[in-house]
Structure 1
Amino acid sequence: MREPWYRDGRLHFGVGVENTFVPQSSSSERPIDEYVLTEHDLRWRDDLDLACAVGSDFMRWGIPWHIVNPQKGRWDWSWCDRVMERFGEIGLRPIVDLLHYGTPTWLENEFLHPDFPEFVSEYASRAAERYATVATDYTPVNEPMIHALFCGEYGYWPPYGRGESGLVALSLAVARGFVRTQHAIVEQLGTAATFVHVDASMRYRGDVDAPEHRDTARRLTHQAFLVEDLVTGAVGDGHALVDLLRSHGASDEDFAWFFENQVKPDVMGVNYYPRHSTELFETGIHHSGGFADPRPTRDDGVAGLAEMLRQYASRYGAPVMVAETCVTDDIPTRLEWLDSSVQAVRDLRDDGLDIVGYTWWPLFDMYEWTYRHSQLPREAHLLTMGLYDLVETEQGLARRRNPIADRFAEFARQEDREAAEMARPVSDVG
């Protein structure tokens, strides 16, 4: 049997297409469907070709659950079928996000519906079976702790939970669906399945030892890993958050179920944004840390990236990859981050850390989540992040290649050359 891609010794370069889906709406909230906002739903064929044009080995790409499962018991895979067929035609490896924040609109109470784990695992099973010849790499839940925070603690996205009780309820529900999803995929694909678990880096610095911040900073530091700790069966007596979980309804039976059904990452994906991943505590100043009242952040650059990669590798005993990174800024600033972050990853590999991938996110620009609570046109929420700029034209959103794409392609080609050189028989060298 061929070795999986993440064991071939290479640093794989890839991109992602932003696939946040929060399709629920109200009189004051617009649905978010990044595929519609960026017109990827229309331009998907060209977009996949753009990924190949910059030398990508893989693309992190999400199935829109709310589209393929528009009503309970009804399935429509027609759009995804065409995209998946194109992945196969051009030889671009999809790493499939199955859940990137949103559930179908028919699923009442979203993640807290009592049958959510059953519904999401059925969806995963159907997808894995349908696309078995094209897709074997899956991310069951992208950034599960962001799900728990935005949907469970901050009351920002459905089902609008708040506080510690909401956080615990969402964490347990998302984690149970996560586990059921991974098992469902294994039932379809067996040992061919590869699982890239992905979560957001969350670092806390500043006055973390100040009396008014010490307990909160300690909780948040452990909380950043909560869902991954649950799904890998690591939560029980002795876990730093076990008392918090128990005080909000988690039981020993819950912990036993996660232990008995634990799932592991083949690759641990780390999302790191230098300007957002490190939050600061300040003496005498209180911030809720919620989306509406964020703590200040500090850019710790590649030092923060290296720390988080090492920490995830050590905590979960798996190869790691940079699953998302970029800065939202002008071209020179983005180029500087691309150069420095790729060099940091290469230095860590030279030091023996098993890093298997680097993902620039996203392939093309995206629109900020604030679009949901705004009445302004989409262009007011544009985030300049991509290898390709999104440009408004009379024909819709054009993709304009920028110098970051050229530099990214240079890095990818360099890796290809080095891999080819390493693969040459000894008799061919010299």
Structure 2
Amino acid sequence: MAQNFLKHIQKKFGDGSYEGDQHGGAGGRDGSGMPTKSPRNFMFATGIECSYPTIGHGKIRRDLLEETDHYNRYKEDLGLVKDMGLNVLRYNLPYYKIQKAPGKYDWEFADAAMAEIKRLGITPILDLMHFGVPDWLENFQNPELPVHFAEYCGAVAQRYPWVRFYTPVNEIYVTARASAKDGIWNEQLKSDKGFVTAMKHLVAASIMGNQQIAKYRPDCVIVQSESAEYIHEMRAVESDATRLTNKLRFLSLDLLYAHTIDAEVLLYCLDNGMTREELKWFMAGEPPGYQIMGNDYYGRNEKIIKPNGDLCSAEDVLGWYTMTKQYYERYRKPVFHTETNTFNALDAECWLWKQWVNVTRIRQDGVPVVGFTWYSLLDQIDWDISLAEKRGFVNPCGLYDLNRKIRPVGESYKMLLQEFGQITMVPHGEIFQVTKRPAELKVEV
């Protein structure tokens, strides 16, 4: 009787641990270990909360960098990013402080912070507008905003030519809604026309800013952070208002990426001030560079409307997985989980792992997720009321508290990094070369 084939293999090659097996075979590496700064590494990140809208009809500026003492402790805070084991940081230069007038800039803080980021070897995803504008631009109803903001973006790209990753305008939909529909920030309007006007100006600002960035950095990577939201209406027949709201959550990205707009939303836009000429301009094509769709998800993003009109949280009914799948199937862009946290410090560790389960599962199902962000590095202030009043209430949602002491969720994030830090952006990502070639091809197949 012939010998068992294993006997022949064992005689020739030994009993396992075969030569070559270390290259992705049974003896290959499992992806654990802290990120190595390889361009193939999945991008684990945090962010430094930096919102700066005005309230009180423009009389009060909320600046979270100031309120959390980051301006004085920026070196310490950036050091915490490295202590965490992270190499990627969502970071904002305070637009309202820098562009003093057309062509006039104050770079003092920006230069100091960016020099420290560069010294530490951190890769910034540079956020250029975060819920506010300089006083001289007033608010998002100003039609000159896209021109002045584009000039600012070009100035930033020229001043920091080593930066490749950008978010021109953070959460366009949330900015327009809070400022012009919900009456909380900036112009504090509560009108459909105000909302559409703010939306037009913000998307146009993002597009033109993106154009200027690409002019000076043709290989730019644009991580467009946008809030993933949904309202579940517990009525037998959904109301017209809720149906429209659930459609409007896509409007900013539809305009940004030149995606065909739903007929009901299109009529809403035309009825509230958008012209056919403007629509044609938006639909001409998406902005240049390499585009990544960032989806922000908090449990409070999902809401249930009861039959009596009361609201309650719908945390994780759809969850980041299902909501991001909706956005991905609509736009077909690589995905970045750009923001998440919970205001309950006791729940934070579990929330972190739940979000990571969402990321790993959607990747297994074929959606290219290239990064994950716990937002933010530090606790925040008054975000439980969306910054509507200056109460000074600390939201314990950071990896570190405001004394810069690590929270349990920070320790859990370190554990997550140690276990998954060396996975690739996409499965088998080693076979793809990450280059600095300019973005040129526009291919849809």
Partner residue in 2 for 1:320: 335
* Letter paired with 1:144: I
Partner residue in 1 for 2:434: none
Is this contact kept in 2: 1:62–1:100, CA < 8 A? yes
Please state if 1:202 is matched with 2:229. yes
Which residues of 2 match residues 26-425 of structure 1 at below 5 A? 30-108=60-138, 110-133=139-162, 135-190=163-218, 192-207=219-234, 209-210=236-237, 213-235=238-260, 239-263=263-287, 266-274=291-299, 276-285=300-309, 295-300=311-316, 303-331=318-346, 333-369=347-383, 370=385, 374=389, 376=391, 378=392, 381-390=393-402, 398-418=403-423
Cα deviation, 1:391-410, whole Å, max 9, x if unaligned, reads xxxxxxx2111221111012
* Letter paired with 1:232: Y
d(CA) in 1 for partners of 2:380 and 2:370? 26
Deviation of 1:173 (Å): 1.2
* Letter paired with 2:362: L
Q: How many aligned residue pairs are there? A: 393
1:256–1:283: structure 2 CA closer, same or farther, 3 Å change rule? same
Partner residue in 2 for 1:393: none
Query: 1:267 aligns to what SS in structure 2?
Result: strand
Which is higher, the Rg of structure 1 or of structure 2? 2
Cα deviation, 1:13-33, whole Å, max 9, x if unaligned, reads 110111101256669x53200
RMSD across aligned positions (CA): 2.6
Is this contact kept in 1: 2:57–2:186, CA < 8 A? no
Query: 1:155 aligns to what SS in structure 2?
Result: coil
Is this contact kept in 1: 2:258–2:284, CA < 8 A? yes
Deviation of 1:221 (Å): 1.2
Deviation of 1:298 (Å): 1.5
Is this contact kept in 2: 1:32–1:371, CA < 8 A? no
1:423–1:120: structure 2 CA closer, same or farther, 3 Å change rule? closer
Bigger relative contact order, structure 1 or 2 (CA pairs below 8 A, ≥6 apart) = 2
Structure 1 stretches lacking a partner, 5+ long: 288-294, 391-397, 426-430
d(CA) in 2 for partners of 1:44 and 1:151? 29
Is this contact kept in 2: 1:45–1:83, CA < 8 A? yes
Deviation of 1:86 (Å): 1.2
Deviation of 1:235 (Å): 4.4
Cα deviation, 1:253-308, whole Å, max 9, x if unaligned, reads 1111112253276211111001x1111122232x6xxxxxxx3221126x411012
Query: 2:132 aligns to what SS in structure 1?
Result: coil
* Letter paired with 1:410: M
* Letter paired with 2:203: A
* Letter paired with 1:281: I
Is this contact kept in 2: 1:235–1:242, CA < 8 A? no
Query: 1:169 aligns to what SS in structure 2?
Result: helix
d(CA) in 2 for partners of 1:123 and 1:19? 18
Deviation of 1:89 (Å): 1.1
Deviation of 1:168 (Å): 1.1
* Letter paired with 2:241: T
Deviation of 1:324 (Å): 0.3
Structure 2 stretches lacking a partner, 5+ long: 1-35, 432-445
d(CA) in 2 for partners of 1:240 and 1:164? 14
Please state if 1:18 is matched with 2:49. yes
1:91–1:375: structure 2 CA closer, same or farther, 3 Å change rule? closer
Aligned identity (percent) is 24
Cα deviation, 1:128-175, whole Å, max 9, x if unaligned, reads 111111x11111111101111111111221222222111111111111
Partner residue in 2 for 1:292: none
Query: 1:353 aligns to what SS in structure 2?
Result: coil
* Letter paired with 1:382: V
Deviation of 1:52 (Å): 1.2
d(CA) in 1 for partners of 2:254 and 2:424? 35
